[in-house]
Chains A and B, each alone.
Chain A
Amino acid sequence: MAATAISPAAARARRRRRRRTRTYGLAFLFLSPWIVGFLLFLVYPMVASLYFSFTHYDLLNSPRWIGLANYKYMLENDPFFWQAVRNTAWMIVIGLPLRLFWALMTATLLTMKVSGQRYYRTLYYLPTMVPPVAAALAFTYLLNPDLGPVNGVLAHLGIPGPLWFFDPSWSKPALVLLSLWGAGDAMIIYLAGLLDVPQTQIEAAKIDGANAVRRYWHVTLPSISPVIFFTLVTGLIWTFQTFTEAYVAGNTTSGQKDTLGEPQGSLLFYAIWLYQQGFRYFNMGYASALAWVLFGATMLCTLVLIKSSERWVHVEGNQ
């Protein structure tokens, strides 16, 4: 043992420090796969794309600094940018709430006490198993104005079916139909939440004389509001990036594969315009600028949503 005297307290403190360092070191080690991924596949690309957004970069030559020219062009000289913004906003304001509402309604149906409830649940969830590309292709056929069964059924009922994906006013609603069909993922989450509603509160409401609708509005919905909030936030972030179904549908119904977003740009969503700029025209600097604007808009809307949640999301104990 050392000749210098160490007080027991100091020795304990040193042991604690060593242990903490060891814990930190160990934690760091455990976290390292994610940390490397974070730095390499997230931080680096973010910084790089911010840099690209101030350049003109076509992949064949090195990036050429142009300052704010990309952003200026975006806001002042690019009508397709605004069309993309409008289309995406439509999806967020109309498509997303419709989808979540449908998911909530079907989830509520699935809470009914009937025999074989399990099978209905599987059935409703099944469409989410279909790969988005296959689902989109299937719907381009189902909603084909002349060959598809949907218009066939409508014709039987005497209703002239719209041109769906071939009509700019109906192409987005057609996409919404597709998303309703596959709303099972949100539905399952809502179902779990609905099954978790405290029965005591329901009983209490019943005793107070509330009917089913009032019980739903005053007890059930507040109880699942955290779940609704979760699906709203994730749905919002996801809807900003609408791409796959619109890409496939636009590709398959337009006669040409060079212009995306047909018909008449009605399916030109933000992510599609970004893809076209970056990977068809190889305007990578401009596409990076578009990406950062998207990021900003997503963050802003998410923050607004989170702030608003304080008013309508009921956390346990915040009655």
Chain B
Amino acid sequence: MSALAAHERARRQRILHSVARHSVLIGVGVVFVSPFVFVIFTALMTRDQALTRAIWPSPFRFQNFYDVLDQQPLLRWTWNTFLISSLSSIGVVLSCTPPAYALARMRFRGRNAVFLLVLSTMMLPIQVTIIPLYVLFSHLGWIGSLKPLIIPGFFGDAFSIFLLRQFFMTIPNALTDAARVDGASELRLMLRVVVPLAKPALVAVFLFNFLYCWNDLFAPLLYLGANPDSYTISLGLSEFRSSRHVDYELMMAACVLFTLPVTVLFFLAQRAFVEGVTVTGVKG
């Protein structure tokens, strides 16, 4: 076979392989994407259509988004959720940076033991602590307020400490050694040297916690269930049925509105997410 023909055949094979690969990827992609598509379409249907098997809305009813905001206090829920997520995440960043710093960059005996202890707390099922915590919060009168969901964030979080510690350890010792020789205190080292270099990790910690709080159902269910005024979106939506007026098209519209903010956040911070995940998951 001439060199040209062989070249042609190789090229054709490459294209075929590429097409095959793309087809598989697209096929699997359809599986992942189709729920989004169906949900959004249903969110745009009229009530009568939502009760049928129709897939394509006709007419398009954008008013559903307005209706669901009208029918459910979705805006208040969103504000509550936002308050909890942002304040708690700030608390986590503030309260986890010093412990992570100590575990990563300060030398003291028993350091590894403490780190293992921190890690091991991640394995504790929350069910073991919720009942006394509930009793404690109810004695403090915090049940129904947002406090039980915000305050504990200011007292450390094992996963965030882990994440930050891993990252802090990647900062070259040379930088801190030099500053130490100059007589800088640990506090100054942490604030002036390590933290500025660790901004991506801090952002990742903030985002992870924000996302966790935004999505959480269990803690709001337990602590906020007594007070509809302080519901979060997840809690409010989970009670869609018990609020006695369930319509699928509105339910789907609410889901879309619930998912949108964090999806946007994700796209804006995509790199921080992936970095944060890689630091913990692989070299663990």
Direct contact of A and B (CB under 8 A): yes
* Residues of A within 8 A of B (CB-CB), count: 90
Who on chain B is nearest to A229 by CB? B284
Contact A27 B278 (CB under 8 A): no
What is the CB-to-nearest-CB distance from A114 to chain B, in angstroms, rounded to a whole number? 5
Contact A230 B284 (CB under 8 A): yes
Contact B186 A30 (CB under 8 A): yes
Contact A227 B121 (CB under 8 A): no
Contact B238 A251 (CB under 8 A): yes
Within 8 A of A (CB), among B178-218: 186, 190, 211, 214-215, 217-218
Cα–Cα distance between A257 and B21 once the two chains are bound (Å): 47
Within 8 Å by CB of A45, from B129, B161, B255, lies: B129
Contact A120 B98 (CB under 8 A): no
User: Which chain A residues lie closer than 8 Å to B262 at the CB level?
Assistant: 129, 131
Within 8 Å by CB of A33, from B33, B99, B211, B284, lies: B99
- CB of B112 within 8 Å of the partner chain: no
User: Which chain A residues lie closer than 8 Å to B245 at the CB level?
Assistant: none
Within 8 Å by CB of B51, from A147, A193, A290, lies: A147
User: Which chain B residues lie closer than 8 Å to A226 at the CB level?
Assistant: 282, 284
User: Which chain A residues lie closer than 8 Å to B263 at the CB level?
Assistant: 126, 129-130
Within 8 Å by CB of A48, from B31, B55, B132, B240, lies: B132
Contact A141 B251 (CB under 8 A): yes
What is the CB-to-nearest-CB distance from B52 to chain A, in angstroms, rounded to a whole number? 7
- CB of B154 within 8 Å of the partner chain: yes
Cα–Cα distance between A232 and B274 once the two chains are bound (Å): 20
Contact A46 B238 (CB under 8 A): no
* Residues of B within 8 A of A (CB-CB), count: 95
What is the CB-to-nearest-CB distance from A181 to chain B, in angstroms, rounded to a whole number? 6
Cα–Cα distance between A46 and B21 once the two chains are bound (Å): 52
What is the CB-to-nearest-CB distance from B57 to chain A, in angstroms, rounded to a whole number? 13
Contact B108 A133 (CB under 8 A): no
What is the CB-to-nearest-CB distance from A207 to chain B, in angstroms, rounded to a whole number? 21
- CB of A31 within 8 Å of the partner chain: yes
- CB of A122 within 8 Å of the partner chain: yes
- CB of A87 within 8 Å of the partner chain: no
What is the CB-to-nearest-CB distance from B212 to chain A, in angstroms, rounded to a whole number? 10
- Give B232-253 as 1s and 0s: 1 = Cβ < 8 Å from A's Cβ atoms: 0110011111100010100110
Contact A112 B21 (CB under 8 A): yes
Binds A, one of B4-12, B22-30, B60-68, B169-177: B22-30
Known A-B contacts A37-B155, A247-B217; A127 and B32 likewise in contact (beta carbons under 8 Å): yes
Contact B21 A126 (CB under 8 A): no
User: Which chain B residues lie closer than 8 Å to A44 at the CB level?
Assistant: 132, 136
Known A-B contacts A23-B108, A123-B32, A137-B237; A114 and B22 likewise in contact (beta carbons under 8 Å): yes
Within 8 Å by CB of B155, from A34, A48, A134, lies: A34
Contact B32 A192 (CB under 8 A): no
User: Which chain B residues lie closer than 8 Å to A237 at the CB level?
Assistant: 122-123, 125
5 A-B residue pairs with Cβ-Cβ distance under 8 Å, sorted by A, are A27-B102, A31-B114, A114-B21, A247-B221, A274-B127
Given contacts A291-B131, A295-B125, 10 further A-B contacts (CB under 8 A): A30-B186, A33-B156, A37-B95, A49-B132, A110-B25, A122-B270, A131-B215, A133-B238, A142-B39, A152-B55
Contacts from A to B (Cβ < 8 Å): 20, 23-24, 26-27, 29-34, 36-38, 40-42, 44-46, 48-49, 52, 59, 106, 109-110, 112, 114-115, 120, 122-124, 126-127, 129-134, 137-139, 141-142, 144, 146-149, 152, 181, 185, 188-189, 192-193, 196, 226-227, 230-231, 237, 240-241, 243-244, 247-248, 251-252, 257, 271, 274-275, 278-279, 284, 287-288, 290-292, 294-295, 298-299, 302
